Amino acid sequence: MTALKAQSKFIFGGAIIVLAVGYLIVSSIGGSTAYYLTVEEVKAEGLSEHTVRVAGTVVGDTIEWNAQELMLRFKIADASGSLAVIYHGPRPDMLQDGAEAVIEGKYFEGESFEANNLLLKCPSKYEGAATATAEAPVK
């Protein structure tokens, strides 16, 4: 076997692996993206087809916490309006009036936003890890 031929075997094999890994990455991006939308955009789009993320501020007096069923309802507001959110799971420690929230989930038209992920930052000017994520159990 000539040296060149032996080398081409590796270049070919390596290229296949690179392509396979590349394909895996690109194809995985497809189903996992979550667009950041404003409240207005969420409502304009209606029933979400994919997971979306919305950033806003928690409106304190809308927080309703059902401890029996571990169900949480609250509203978040941004410059374009406010959005009712439902979340199942323990109440995150940082959920309070004025907290900056990023919610991830789907909007059901005429109803509310079903969040399966809450990312919260507490309102105090506190650096670093004074934030927490909460994740709803995957059904």
Partner 1 sequence: MTIVGSGALALAFFISACTAVASILGARRGSPKLVESAQKGVVAAAVLVTSASIILIYLLLARDFQVQYVYEHVSTYQPTIYTLSAFWAGQEGSLLLWLWLLTIFSALIARREESWSRELKPYALALLAFCQAFFALLLVLTSNPFATLPIRPAEGFGLNPLLENFWMIIHPPVVFIGYAAYTVPFAFAIAALVTGKLGEGWIRGIRRWNLFAWLFLGLGIVMGAWWSYLELGWGGYWGWDPVENSSLAPWLVGTALLHSMMIEERRGMFKVWNIVLITLTFALCIFATFVTRSGIIQSVHAFGLSVVGYYFLAFLAGILILSFGLTFYRRRELASEVKLKALLSREASFLLNNLLFVGLALAVFIGTVFPTISEIVRGTQVALGAPFFERVFAPLSLALILLIGVCPRLGWRQTSLRRLLNDLLYPGILALALAVAISVRGVTEPFALLSFTVCTFVASSILWEFLRGTMARHRSTGEDYLLAFRRLITKNRRRYGGYLVHLSMVIIAVGIIGSSLYQTEYQVTLAEGETVTVKDYTLEHEGFWVESSPAKHRFAIPLGVYRDNKRIATLVPEKNFHWNVEQWVTEVAIRTSLKEDLYVILAAVAQDGSASFQILINPLVVWLWIGGGLLLLGTAVAIWPEGRASSKLEMIVGADDCDSSERLAPVE
By beta-carbon proximity to partner 1, the closer residue of 109 and 135 is 135
Please give the backbone phi and psi of residue 21, each rounded to the nearest 5 degrees, phi first: -65, -45
Q: Tell whether residue 86 is a contact of partner 1 (CB under 8 A).
A: no
Site for partner 1, residues 96 to 135, rule: CB under 8 A: 96, 100, 102, 104, 117, 119, 121-122, 124, 126-135
Q: Tell whether residue 65 is a contact of partner 1 (CB under 8 A).
A: yes
| Cα Rg of the chain (Å, integer) | 22
Contacts of 39 (CB under 8 A, 6+ apart): 54, 56, 76, 77, 78, 80, 81, 82, 83
Q: Tell whether residue 17 is a contact of partner 1 (CB under 8 A).
A: yes
Minimum separation from the CB atom of position 80 to partner 1 (A): 15
Q: Tell whether residue 36 is a contact of partner 1 (CB under 8 A).
A: yes
**Following DSSP, what letter does each residue of 68-111 receive, concatenated?**
TTTEEEEEEEETTEEEEEEEESSPPTT--TT-EEEEEEEE-TTS
CB 48 within 8 A of CB 106: yes
Binding site for partner 1 (CB under 8 A): 3, 6-7, 9-10, 13-14, 17-18, 21-22, 24-25, 27-29, 31-36, 51, 53, 65, 67-70, 89-91, 93-94, 96, 100, 102, 104, 117, 119, 121-122, 124, 126-135, 137
